[in-house]
Amino acid sequence: MKLKAIIAVLATGVMAAGCANTTGASEQPKSNPDKSSETVSFICGEGYDKVSGQKLFTTYAWAERGKIAVVRWETDYFSKWGYTPEERCKEVSPRLQKAHENGSLLFLTHGTIERKPPLEPMTAICTSRSDGGGCDTLLMTLRPNDDPLPILQQLGETLRGRSTGPLRHSSGASQMYIQVNIKEFLESAPVE
């Protein structure tokens, strides 16, 4: 259990340090112009998944229209380090909330979290305040064999309200930025 806490602190600290170097730590957070006047809460809950026919932990955006599935947590890959699908859901949901509240949920991108040897660097999905900007808020780490681009694209499509369902983090490049319009997402994404 201590290893889990140490990994979480190291990952967040390294990502934050890398972001501070690229974004200018003295800048004040800018407000998100796409932030809806509607209140949204990103929460973790268990939901029925029609594709698998199972109940799965899911990160939801809870809005006036109802709950909108954002990520279904299926993979057990991180369980050997104490990060079950439930734990990942419980950690990523508040990160999405933080990104929404601090105005950094304008763009999604990916980056690398450097770790001390013998540990390999990890790829992560994060938010950015600008196209080409550095990571502002770490959202989630990926498995070594995950290609971040398709995951980033699907999460972007989900948060744009253009996807028919949530990102499924289940299976196993150049830098990419996906612009996010939270207002459009809250108005058009399917509710459960």
Domain chopping of the chain, boundaries: 2-188
State the amino acid at position 183 in one-letter form: K
Q: Residues 131, 148, 59, 114: is their CA dihedral positive or negative?
A: negative
Residue 165 belongs to what H/E stretch? none
Cα separation, 55 vs 32, whole angstroms:
34
**Predicted confidence (pLDDT) at residue 72 exceeds the cutoff of 90:** yes
**Predicted confidence (pLDDT) at residue 167 exceeds the cutoff of 80:** yes
Cα separation, 17 vs 11, whole angstroms:
10
Report the SS3 class of residue 100. Answer: helix
Residue with tokens 């594709």: 51
Report the 10 Å Cβ neighbour count for 79.
Answer: 13
The residue-averaged pLDDT of 39-61 equals 93
pLDDT value of residue 57 = 96
Which of 122, 126, 98 is CA-nearest to residue 112?
122
Beta strands in the chain (DSSP E): 41-49, 54-63, 66-73, 107-113, 122-128, 137-141, 167-169, 178-179
pLDDT band, very low/low/confident/very high, at 58 (cuts 50, 70, 90): very high
Q: What tens digit of pLDDT does each residue of 94-119 get?
A: 999 999 999 999 999 999 888 888 88
Cα separation, 134 vs 129, whole angstroms:
8
pLDDT band, very low/low/confident/very high, at 176 (cuts 50, 70, 90): low
Report the 10 Å Cβ neighbour count for 34.
Answer: 16
pLDDT band, very low/low/confident/very high, at 85 (cuts 50, 70, 90): very high
